[in-house]
């Protein structure tokens, strides 16, 4: 009996010891797996959270398709980006700027082996591309003799990728394969402003549309100067770099020279298009926001006169300014293709603004923000006058109907560009 009791006690003891050992092992296994899970989650967060420099201060931006960061230092992005890109197939990669990377093969197919040439710029040819998704884009192939390396190109993509505004031709993708560097932009179906001003086959732009285009361009430049972080100076504002979409809304294009300035701060040679260049920049080699304002003023006179700066536009303007004193009397320089169909008051206000923009003293030129406000006020005044005239005509029509008992058809409205709800509202804001 005693032997059976001692055997039972020994068996129970051994069972308790085994149970305790199993419990301890289970506890440590649980803690190990939990800690490992936390490490994986932490590393995943670090891979998608990259420090961003904004105005000299560090902040964090989580990169995704819809979350676009500001300028990132190369040293802080390399480790995070390599971890990010290593987990995704190259064909569907999204860069830190939120810009899609396309394969050379896809772009070759979309451009029919690069045969759909639609333009030739200083930095290379531009092709129209029909992507497999049905989207139409413009592909700019950067010149192969460019001194820009792979790192500089990636920096360029990140810089351009953060610029998003409805009055800019936004970058939507890029390709860096087979020793080729390509930038993919939104396709603008109506071509350049220059083609509408100087191509006799194109229908002349009416005065109202010219003022709206001027405001579109001013808003794009205002964003670059005051909305982008850090600010961007375009450096090559001209009519051939203003593109029109299917609704005749204007967007600022071709950041070739501003890209060069952002990537290399040591460019000292004169770059740009003669006729639009700020005289102060030519003499000092220092390009500022006010240099963009000068080029914009030349563009305004180009819209008014329908004359190319290389055809003596500014000499023409200075002769007219001797009689107008820069204020009123600008009717003599108006584009003959307008055939007198313009508002005298608006013409003189826009021309006076343009003359301020080309002032030989940069500090006396308005900022782009001031320019936007002035043009918005001009359009708001037109809107109020038109509304007042429509109300007056409606009242006179009612009287006529009551008097004569006759029905009258409304006059056919003038042709205007199609406006979105938000752009219509903006066009009358001060």
| Residue 244 backbone class (left: φ over 0; alpha: ψ -120 to 50; beta: rest) | beta
CA separation for the pair 286, 271 (Å, rounded): 11
Q: How far is CA 378 from CA 3, 216, 263, 328, 374, in A?
A: 111, 14, 38, 15, 6
Question: Is the domain defined by 193-380+420-426 classed in CATH 3.30.465.10?
Answer: no
Residue 124, pLDDT score: 82
Dist. CA 378–CA 372, nearest whole Å: 10
Per-residue pLDDT at 78: 44
pLDDT by 10s per residue, the chain, length 430: 556 666 767 777 787 778 777 777 777 777 666 655 554 444 333 333 323 233 333 332 222 222 233 333 334 444 443 433 333 333 344 445 578 899 999 999 999 999 999 988 767 899 999 998 889 999 999 876 655 567 777 777 887 888 899 999 999 999 988 888 899 999 999 999 999 999 988 899 999 999 999 999 999 999 999 999 888 899 899 999 999 999 999 999 987 566 555 555 555 677 888 899 999 998 888 889 999 999 999 999 999 999 999 888 999 999 888 877 777 889 999 999 999 899 999 999 999 999 999 999 999 999 999 999 999 999 998 888 877 776 666 665 555 545 454 344 444 344 456 665 444 444 444 3
pLDDT of 411 reads 44
Quote the CA–CA distance of 123 and 185 in Å, as a whole number.
Answer: 14
3-state secondary structure 260-277: HHHHCCCCCCCCCCCCCC
Q: Please give the radius of gyration of the chain, using alpha carbons only, rounded to the nearest integer.
A: 31
Can you tell me the distance from the alpha carbon of 3 to that of 190, in angstroms, rounded to the nearest whole number?
A: 104
Q: Are 73 and 145 in contact (CB under 8 A)?
A: no
Query: CA-CA distance, 271 to 182, in Å (whole number)?
Result: 22
Give the pLDDT confidence score for residue 429 in this predicted structure. 41
CATH of 92-186 given 3.30.200.20, 2.60.40.10, 3.30.1160.10, 3.40.630.10: 3.30.200.20
Q: Which of 106, 226, 236, 292 is catalytic?
A: 236
User: How far is CA 65 from each of CA 14, 75, 90, 159, 320, rounded to the nearest angstrom?
Assistant: 60, 22, 15, 16, 52
In angstroms, the CA 310 to CA 303 distance is 14
In 3-state terms, what secondary structure has residue 129? strand
Which pLDDT value is given to residue 302? 97
Which pLDDT does position 179 carry in this prediction? 82
In 3D, which of 242, 239, 428, 280 has the Cα closest to residue 364?
Answer: 280
User: How many whole angstroms from its chain centre is CA 145?
Assistant: 26
User: Whats the size of the chain, residue-wise?
Assistant: 430
Q: Residue 153 has which token pair?
A: 């190109």
Task: Give the domain ranges of the chain.
Answer: 92-186, 193-380+420-426
DSSP code for 223 = I
Q: Which backbone phi and psi does 54 adopt, to 5 degrees? A: -125, 110
The token pair at 383 is: 């809107």
Distances (CA, A) of 179 to 99, 153, 292, 423, 425: 20, 12, 33, 41, 46
* Contact call for residues 368 and 289 (beta carbons, < 8 A): yes
Strand order of the β-sheet with 180-186 is: 100-101, 171-177, 180-186, 136-141, 124-130, 117-121
pLDDT at 112: 95
Distance CA 161, CA 93 (A): 14
Taking the CB of residue 180, how many other CB atoms lie within 10 A of it? Answer: 15
Instruction: Identify the pLDDT of residue 208.
Output: 94
Q: DSSP character for 203?
A: P
The per-residue pLDDT for 48 is 33
Residue with tokens 């009258």: 408
Predicted confidence at residue 161, as pLDDT, reads 85
236 has catalytic annotation: yes
């Amino acid at each position: 009996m005693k032997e059976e009791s001692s055997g039972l006690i020994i068996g129970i003891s051994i069972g308790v010891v085994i149970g305790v050992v199993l419990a301890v092992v289970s506890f440590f296994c649980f803690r190990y797996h939990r800690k490992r899970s936390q490490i994986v989650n932490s590393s995943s967060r670090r891979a998608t959270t990259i420090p961003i420099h904004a105005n000299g201060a560090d902040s964090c931006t989580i990169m995704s398709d819809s979350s676009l960061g500001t300028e990132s230092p190369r040293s802080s992005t390399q480790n995070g980006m390599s971890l990010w890109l290593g987990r995704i197939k190259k064909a569907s990669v999204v860069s830190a700027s939120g810009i899609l990377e396309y394969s050379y093969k896809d772009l070759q197919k979309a451009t029919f082996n690069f045969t759909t040439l639609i333009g030739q710029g200083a930095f290379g040819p531009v092709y129209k591309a029909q992507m497999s998704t049905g989207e139409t884009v413009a592909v700019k192939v950067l010149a192969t003799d460019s001194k820009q390396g792979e790192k500089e190109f990636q920096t360029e993509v990140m810089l351009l990728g953060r610029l998003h505004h409805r009055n800019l031709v936004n970058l939507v993708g890029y390709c860096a394969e087979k020793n080729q560097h390509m930038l993919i932009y939104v396709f603008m179906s109506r071509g350049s402003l220059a083609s509408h001003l100087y191509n006799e086959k194109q229908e002349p732009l009416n005065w109202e549309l010219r003022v709206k285009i001027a405001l579109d361009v001013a808003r794009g430049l205002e964003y670059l100067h005051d909305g982008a972080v850090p600010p961007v100076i375009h450096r090559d504002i001209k009519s051939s770099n203003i593109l029109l979409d299917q609704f005749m809304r204007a967007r600022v294009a071709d950041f070739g020279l501003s890209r060069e300035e952002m990537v290399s701060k040591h460019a000292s040679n004169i770059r740009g298009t003669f006729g639009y260049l700020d005289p102060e920049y030519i003499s000092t080699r220092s390009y500022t926001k006010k240099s963009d304002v000068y080029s914009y003023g030349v563009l305004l006179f180009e819209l008014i006169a329908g004359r190319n700066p290389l055809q003596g536009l500014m000499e023409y303007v200075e002769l007219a300014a001797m009689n107008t004193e820069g204020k009123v009397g600008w009717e003599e320089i108006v584009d003959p293709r307008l055939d007198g169909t313009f508002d005298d008051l608006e013409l003189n206000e826009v021309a006076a603004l343009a003359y301020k923009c080309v002032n030989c003293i940069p500090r006396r030129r308005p900022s782009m923000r001031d320019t936007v406000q002035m043009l918005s006020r001009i359009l708001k005044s037109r809107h109020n006058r038109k509304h007042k005239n429509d109300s007056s005509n409606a009242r006179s029509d009612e009287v006529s109907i009551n008097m004569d008992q006759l029905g009258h058809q409304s006059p056919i409205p003038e042709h205007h560009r199609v406006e979105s709800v938000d752009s219509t509202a903006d066009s009358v804001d001060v």
